[in-house]
Structure 1
Amino acid sequence: MLFLTPYLFLSAGILGDAFGKLFKVIWDGIKWIGNLLKKLLHGVVDIFIGFFEIIYALIDGFLYFLFKVGVLAVKLFLLLFETAKLLWALVVGFAKTLASLVYTPKGSSDAAGYSEMLGKLFKSLSVLQIDVIAYILLFVIWMFTAVGAIKLISSIRVGGE
């Protein structure tokens, strides 16, 4: 029995080494497959993240575009509104000038606030009889002002040309 003991230890060492090497190869294969799956899963996750980043960027760009279109629409509306106010003021002023061509001096003060003073001035200048010329000149001045303002407003272009 004493003779068999080293042989048994020697055979157990060979079998132990063989199984050790076999399990080491199996364990290395499992680690390699795990790393491969980890890299593949990481790649798939990166692809999904990249896809959703692109979708997010497209949605963000589209919403920013809609926002800027809205800002442009508001600015355009304000520009047209202010232009309409300017034209309305010009038309009202022109209408008041045309209405004042049949001026009758009186003591009440209207929107201009100086009709009493004009009445005194017309009475003192009635001797010279230049009130008709003054009315005609006033009409001509307002007409040129209206035409000049309309030309100025119509020459404004969007592109700044």
Structure 2
Amino acid sequence: MGIIGSAFGKLFNVIWSGIKWLGQFIKNLFQGLIDLLVGFFKVIYALIDGLLYLLYKIGMLAVKLFELLFETAKLLWSLVVGFARTLASLSYSPRGSSGTGYSEMLGKLFANLSFLQIDVVAYILLFGLWIFTAVAAMKLLSSIRVGGD
């Protein structure tokens, strides 16, 4: 290699150094812009992620609230049905075709005791017994703890 080869080598090195410097300059110039864009989209992504998480938690809260209201309605309905059945069972009607003679015998007994007029007292006592049982059941249910508190 002579003088011409070494001159082209040095020229190539200078040109190559200039291209590397220009590439580094363009990289540094656009790196700030790219970092700015990436940071902006990270913030946007975090906001969207937080909003979707908030909507998810609101949905979970709505489901739990609906379950609570549904269970409360079921409890109230059971209380109303129990009260209605108790009131319906207050009137005794003897049946003779039940297969046992107890119904007919109790019917005759109640028919003969009507002159004592204790049926009102029996109704009041039966109602009081039902209320006492309902209150005791509610106290028992409210004392049960769910979970590992």
TM-score, structure 2 as length reference: 0.63
**What is the root-mean-square deviation in Å for CA atoms of aligned residues?**
4.2
Distance in 1 of aligned mates of 2:82 and 2:50: 48
1:66-121: CA deviation from partner (whole Å, max 9, x where unpaired) = 012112101111111111111111012112222333x131439xxxxx9x998457
Amino acid at match of 1:143: I
Runs of 5+ consecutive residues of structure 2 not aligned to the other structure: 144-149
Instruction: Select 2:42's aligned residue among 53, 60, 70.
Output: 53
Q: Is the 8 A contact 1:106 1:119 kept in 2?
A: yes
Instruction: Select 1:123's aligned residue among 89, 107, 126.
Output: 107
1:111-151: CA deviation from partner (whole Å, max 9, x where unpaired) = xxx9x998457337547779735443321111123445667
Instruction: Select 2:92's aligned residue among 104, 124, 130.
Output: 104
Matched, 1:44 2:27: no
> Larger Cα Rg: Structure 1 or Structure 2?
1
TM-score, structure 1 as length reference: 0.59
Local SS of the residue matching 1:62:
helix
- Classify 1:153/1:58 alpha carbon distance in 2 versus 1 (closer, same or farther; 3 Å): farther
Distance in 2 of aligned mates of 1:138 and 1:118: 21
Amino acid at match of 1:36: F
Distance in 1 of aligned mates of 2:75 and 2:102: 27
Amino acid at match of 1:71: M
Corresponding residue pairs, total: 139
Distance in 1 of aligned mates of 2:49 and 2:101: 65
Identity of aligned residues (%): 59
Distance in 2 of aligned mates of 1:22 and 1:121: 128
Distance in 2 of aligned mates of 1:130 and 1:91: 29
Matched, 1:72 2:27: no
